[in-house]
Amino acid sequence: MALHPPLRLLGIVGSLRRNAHSRAVLLGVRSVLDARVSLSLVGVDLPLYNQDLDDDKPPRAVHDFRKQIAESDALVVSTPEYNHGMPGALKNALDWASRPHGNSVLKGKPFIVVSSSPAFTGGVRAQAQVNETMLAVQALPVPGPQIVIGAIDGKVSNGLLVDGTSLGFITAAIENLLAPRATDNLAEDMVSLA
């Protein structure tokens, strides 16, 4: 069996707020990962999508965002829920990443969505919207149950998600990403699991 380098996850922080729960979720996950996985974070503070700017030289922040996605093995999208949906900044970032149509950095990219909310529903409607957008651009959902974290206010301490149950669901989804690494093509392995 071949040894693989660490799985490179990119955590997309779906909120612009400095002390966002979405960031705390990803930082909490990163604190419990073992050496088989690395997790870096990227924000969604990008200019509004404008096709006039989306040419060979897009805005620098967009170029960097796309590059980080392209260089990752898979994504963990952490989103809050705003008014029964995903935040506009996250949708905007996914729109930038979805271009060029049919050949974007999201196409074939395995992804996990984690939603959180102070409400008991845990942002399930935002999660549905993120999944819908990601499926539309041919990204690959990691098989497993939805990961929703209700009552998030009581599950974060010192800027980290500390709730063991929530962390367990997220790390189980990451294990689903690690399991198919029998080949060197993670996206191919994920399709075979679906």
Q: Quickly list DSSP for the chain.
A: ----PPEEEEEEE----TT-HHHHHHHHHHHH--TTEEEEEE----PPP-GGG-SSS--HHHHHHHHHHHH-SEEEEEEE-BTTB--HHHHHHHHHHTPSTTS-TTTT-EEEEEEE-SSTTTTHHHHHHHHHHHHHTT-EEPSS--EEE-SGGGGEETTEE--HHHHHHHHHHHHHHHTTTTSS-HHHHHHHH-
Encode pLDDT of 58-94 as tens digits: 999 999 999 999 999 999 999 999 999 999 999 999 9
The predicted model gives 105-130 an average pLDDT of 96
Q: For position 132, what pLDDT does the model report?
A: 97
Q: For position 153, what pLDDT does the model report?
A: 95
Strand-pair partners of 9 = 39, 74
CB 107 within 8 A of CB 114: no
Single-letter amino acid, residue 59: P
Q: For position 178, what pLDDT does the model report?
A: 87
Closest by CA position to 171, among listed 102, 112, 98: 112
Encode pLDDT of 106-117 as tens digits: 999 999 999 999
> Rounded to whole angstroms, how far apart are CA atoms 1 and 129?
39
Q: How confident is the model at residue 173 (pLDDT cuts 50, 70, 90)?
A: very high
C-beta neighbour count of 156 within 10 angstroms:
22
Domains of the chain, start order: 7-193 (3.40.50.360)
